[in-house]
């Protein structure tokens, strides 16, 4: 009977202590894991370390690219100007090799209507919901049709999309370099009020007459 008591109380005391201790993770011990296969990948994680990979430095599962090399197909990611005032000034000279064709402008419009319109507005009037509802102050220039955007060197627009400028964040992770140029061609189309076949709304200035609107399809 006495022995039974000791076993009983030891078990009652030991259980919570053991369960608390076994849950605690420290150092290399991850503690208790429920069904770890559900969240620990069976495949090797890139750049993780595994002593088995004796040939790779530090047992890395994947090697980092050799310094100064460019992965195949990613040459157009090379952009020489740093994210600084001087870099922005120098970017004025930068031009891409993506031409301003009808097809590229249309693709630029599609991308613009995903990534840009909510601030700059569908037609570049800076009347997207974010600016309109004053969630963020709009740029100092009123719209894309202002001289500032008309005259903005395309390289500077590329720099801004790549790194961001002021309150506009970088869009580099959303748009690859080719897509950035396509969007810029579309921005310039809006700025110069040249209508692409996909966009039929050409009313850029409030005082335009109906005839002006019709004519604006050709030149402007």
Q: Does 177 bind ligand HEC (CB under 6 A)?
A: no
Nearer to ligand HEC, 44 or 94 (CB): 94
Per-residue tokens: 90:
């120098």
| Contacts with 87 (C-beta within 8 Å, 6 or more apart), sequence order | 81, 159, 163
Residue from 104, 106, 143, 160 in contact with ligand HEC (CB under 6 A): 160
| Contacts with 143 (C-beta within 8 Å, 6 or more apart), sequence order | 121, 124, 125, 126, 127, 149
Q: Does 185 bind ligand HEC (CB under 6 A)?
A: no
Q: Does 154 bind ligand HEC (CB under 6 A)?
A: no
In the complex, minimum distance from the CB of residue 144 to ligand HEC, in angstroms, rounded to a whole number: 8
In the complex, minimum distance from the CB of residue 219 to ligand HEC, in angstroms, rounded to a whole number: 23
Residue from 98, 105, 154, 161 in contact with ligand HEC (CB under 6 A): 161
- Tell me, by CB under 6 A, how many residues bind ligand HEC: 20
Nearer to ligand HEC, 155 or 195 (CB): 155
Which listed range, 4-12, 30-38, 99-107, 151-159, lies at the site for ligand HEC (CB under 6 A)?
Answer: 151-159
Helix ranges, 43-153 (H): 85-90, 102-115, 117-120, 129-132, 147-151
Nearer to ligand HEC, 155 or 216 (CB): 155
Gap between the Cα atoms of 165 and 157, Å rounded: 10
Q: Does 115 bind ligand HEC (CB under 6 A)?
A: yes
Nearer to ligand HEC, 44 or 117 (CB): 117
Nearer to ligand HEC, 50 or 176 (CB): 176
How far CA 116 is from CA of 64, 174, 182, in Å, comes to: 34, 11, 13
How far CA 64 is from CA of 1, 26, 72, 91, in Å, comes to: 68, 30, 15, 29
Residue from 79, 106, 171, 204 in contact with ligand HEC (CB under 6 A): 171
In the complex, minimum distance from the CB of residue 93 to ligand HEC, in angstroms, rounded to a whole number: 14
Q: Name which of residues 50 to 79 contact ligand HEC (CB under 6 A).
A: none
Gap between the Cα atoms of 144 and 213, Å rounded: 17
**φ, ψ for residue 135 (rounded to 5)?**
-75, -20
Query: 49: helix, coil or strand?
Result: strand
In the complex, minimum distance from the CB of residue 86 to ligand HEC, in angstroms, rounded to a whole number: 14
Per-residue tokens: 202:
């050409």
Gyration radius of the chain's alpha carbons: 29
């Amino acid at each position: 009977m006495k022995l039974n008591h000791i076993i009983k109380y030891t078990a009652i005391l030991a259980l919570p202590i053991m369960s608390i201790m076994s849950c605690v993770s420290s150092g290399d011990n991850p503690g208790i894991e429920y069904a770890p296969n559900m969240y620990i990948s069976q495949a090797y994680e890139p750049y993780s370390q595994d002593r088995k990979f004796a040939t790779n430095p530090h047992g890395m599962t994947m090697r980092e690219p050799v310094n100064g090399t460019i992965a195949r197909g990613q040459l157009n990611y090379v952009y020489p100007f740093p994210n600084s005032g001087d870099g922005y000034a120098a970017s004025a000279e930068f031009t891409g090799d993506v031409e301003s064709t009808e097809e590229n402008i249309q693709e630029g419009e599609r991308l613009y209507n995903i990534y840009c319109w909510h601030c700059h507005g569908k037609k570049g009037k800076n009347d997207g919901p974010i600016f309109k509802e004053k969630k963020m102050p709009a740029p100092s220039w009123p719209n894309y049709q202002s001289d500032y955007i008309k005259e903005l060197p395309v390289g500077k627009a590329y720099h801004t999309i790549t790194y961001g400028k002021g309150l506009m964040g970088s869009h580099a992770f959303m748009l690859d370099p080719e897509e950035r140029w396509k969007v810029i061609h579309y921005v310039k189309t809006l700025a110069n009020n040249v209508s692409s076949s996909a966009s039929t709304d050409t009313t850029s200035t409030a005082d335009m007459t109906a005839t002006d609107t019709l004519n604006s399809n050709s030149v402007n």
